[in-house]
């Protein structure tokens, strides 16, 4: 079986290019950005996978942390209503 050569791997482009650059100071995603965080939740309030959300490993880790903080502060519900 012959493998295809890919340029840059599966997640070559970042989901938040303006936030992960050299000039950016602060987290990639903040827990206070509730509308943005809801885009990465499924209809049953689960966190989307990297493949489905199109995020890199660093972005996914930042999203996970921000979503968990927002849930703890009751900005996002734990379950769908």
The structural domains of the chain, with segments of one domain joined by +, span: 26-81
Question: What is the SS3 assignment for 62?
Answer: helix
Q: What is the fold of 26-81? A: 30s Ribosomal Protein S18 (4.10.640)
Q: pTM of the predicted model, to two decimals?
A: 0.75
How far apart (Å, rounded) are the C-alpha atoms in residues 59 and 27?
10
Q: What is the pLDDT of residues 47-81, one digit of tens each?
A: 999 989 888 888 899 999 999 999 999 999 998 76
**How many CB atoms neighbour CB 40 within 10 A?**
22
Reading the block at residue 4, the tokens are: 């295809």
Q: What is the pLDDT of residues 13-54, one digit of tens each?
A: 667 766 766 776 677 788 999 999 999 999 999 999 998 988
Q: What is the pLDDT of residues 5-21, one digit of tens each?
A: 555 555 556 677 667 66
């Amino acid at each position: 079986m012959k493998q295809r050569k890919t340029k840059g791997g599966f997640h070559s482009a970042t989901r938040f290019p303006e936030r992960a650059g050299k000039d950016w100071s602060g987290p990639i995603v903040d827990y206070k950005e509730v509308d943005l965080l809801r885009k990465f939740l499924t209809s049953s309030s689960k966190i989307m996978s990297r493949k489905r959300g199109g995020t890199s490993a660093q972005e996914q880790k930042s999203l996970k942390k921000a979503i968990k903080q927002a849930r703890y502060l009751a900005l996002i519900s734990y379950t769908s209503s």
